[in-house]
């Protein structure tokens, strides 16, 4: 029984897997079990942002694995304390809660907002407004928060208390905020929704609305954070700060970690015993994340991301002049979407035959989320391959 047959036999069939077995990765390159090399423009869906097996992160993991891997969160560890310190120093936040994934970080943010108002004596203020086409995870609460019906099918009854609002529509949001709402939760750039950026004016208006109504603004930066969009956090591009923010994906460069960050006022919602995790923020993952944060937060590194992102968008935009099937190219930094008239999945399959790993979302959008260490030569190669495929 080979790897594919064994997986299909013994692992839950919840993924539409491509029949390729990867055995090795380095930088932006992956190798399959037949020795074929692929240039990775997906990075484990924006996870392996420093590339596969980044030597500095690998050394930190190996050193920490040989020192201390896990103790309960009823004790203290140096890597966790230092990562929290660094995240606070580099963000708007004052407190950090560590989890294992983006969904768990978002779950923590939802719980924090609700509990804050409950502790304040306003238990009726529990509803959270999220956006249509948003994606916040697949736990029961986070899929209930998600503004896409397709991922909710078959899971009723859903968790109550979520209201979905059209994205980029401040009038619709204003009409929904009443004295039962505790927070607005949104992505600055909708990733799974099709790489759809919020309008600058809209984000600023959302911030003002939350201030005026005395409710929290939660930014889900699970996919957009940690340099992906050319700034350490995507909301920096919009000139506003949230009250609560979630991170995951790139934070551990492949190791499972999520984080929920909050300002001092919002953080009052969690007190002793109100929330916990067994594996969140272990010494192993926080040590790895410290190395990731050190590299990604360097201003020169962030500038390189912006330059390479602009170069990728320029190359894809140039294709629009030759291929009428391309309807739009959008995104920030190295999170870019190319919307087609036709089936994006078919192009992704053909690109993989040529040695490029891409991803189709919403049926018609090709998502580019390569390792942030991708080179211009590798970008040139994928643009050329797409040019050939779209002929």
Q: Which residues are annotated as a binding site?
A: 102-103, 135, 138, 220-223, 277-278
User: What is d(CA 254, CA 48) in angstroms, rounded to the nearest whole number?
Assistant: 5
209 touches 221 (CB < 8 A): no
User: What is d(CA 183, CA 177) in angstroms, rounded to the nearest whole number?
Assistant: 9
- Residue ranges of alpha helices (H) inside the chain are 3-10, 43-46, 55-65, 78-89, 102-119, 140-145, 170-176, 200-213, 264-267, 283-296, 299-320, 344-353, 376-389
Q: Is 89 exposed, middle or buried (0-12, 13-18, 19+ CB in 10 A)?
A: exposed
User: What is d(CA 55, CA 68) in angstroms, rounded to the nearest whole number?
Assistant: 20
228 touches 45 (CB < 8 A): no
Phi, psi of 163, rounded to the nearest 5 degrees: -125, 135
CA within 13 Å, CB half, 72: 2
Report the binding-site residues for pyridoxal 5'-phosphate: 102-103, 135, 220-223, 278
Where are the strands (E) in 159-240, listed by range? 162-165, 181-186, 189-190, 196-197, 216-220
Beta bridge pairs of residue 117: none
Of 280, 244, 256, the residue nearest 110 (C-alpha): 244
Which tokens go with 184?
């607005």
DSSP reduced 3-state for 7? helix
160 touches 125 (CB < 8 A): no
Phi, psi of 185, rounded to the nearest 5 degrees: -120, 125
User: What is d(CA 196, CA 186) in angstroms, rounded to the nearest whole number?
Assistant: 12
Residue 276: partners with Cβ closer than 8 Å, 6 or more residues away: 73
* Residue positions counted in the chain: 391
Report the binding-site residues for N(2)-acetyl-L-ornithine: 138, 277
């Amino acid at each position: 029984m080979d790897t594919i047959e064994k997986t299909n036999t013994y692992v839950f069939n919840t993924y539409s897997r491509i029949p390729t077995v990867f055995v090795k990765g380095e930088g932006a390159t992956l190798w399959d079990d037949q020795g074929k090399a692929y240039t990775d423009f997906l990075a484990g869906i924006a996870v392996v942002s420093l590339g596969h097996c980044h030597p500095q992160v690998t050394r930190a993991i190996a050193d920490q694995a040989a020192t201390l891997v896990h103790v309960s969160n009823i004790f203290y560890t140096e890597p966790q304390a230092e990562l929290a310190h660094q995240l606070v120093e580099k963000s708007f936040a004052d407190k950090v809660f560590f989890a294992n994934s983006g969904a768990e970080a978002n779950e923590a943010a939802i719980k924090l907002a609700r509990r804050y108002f409950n502790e304040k004596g306003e238990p009726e203020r529990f509803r959270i407004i999220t956006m249509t086409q948003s994606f916040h995870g697949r736990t029961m609460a986070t899929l209930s928060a998600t503004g896409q019906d397709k991922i909710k099918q078959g899971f009723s009854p859903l968790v109550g208390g979520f209201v979905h609002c059209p994205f980029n529509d401040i009038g619709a949001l204003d009409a929904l905020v009443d004295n039962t709402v505790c927070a607005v939760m949104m992505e600055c750039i909708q990733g799974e929704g099709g790489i759809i950026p919020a309008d600058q004016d809209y984000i600023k208006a959302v911030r003002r609305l939350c201030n005026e109504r005395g409710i929290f603004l939660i930014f889900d930066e699970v996919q957009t954070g940690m340099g992906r969009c050319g700034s350490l956090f995507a909301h920096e591009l919009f000139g506003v700060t949230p009250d609560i923010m979630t991170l995951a994906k790139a934070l551990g460069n492949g190791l499972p970690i999520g984080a929920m960050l909050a300002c001092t006022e919002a953080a009052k919602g969690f007190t002793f015993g109100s929330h916990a995790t067994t594996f969140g923020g272990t010494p192993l993952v926080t040590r790895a994340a410290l190395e990731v944060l050190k590299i990604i937060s360097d201003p020169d590194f962030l500038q390189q991301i912006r330059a390479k992102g602009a170069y990728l968008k320029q190359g894809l935009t140039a294709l629009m002049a030759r291929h009428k099937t391309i309807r739009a190219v959008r995104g920030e930094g190295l999170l870019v979407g190319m919307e087609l008239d036709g089936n994006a999945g078919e192009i992704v399959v053909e690109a993989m035959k040529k040695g490029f790993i891409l991803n189709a979302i919403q049926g018609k959008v090709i998502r580019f989320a390569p390792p942030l260490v991708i080179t211009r030569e590798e970008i040139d190669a994928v643009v050329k391959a797409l040019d050939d495929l779209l002929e």
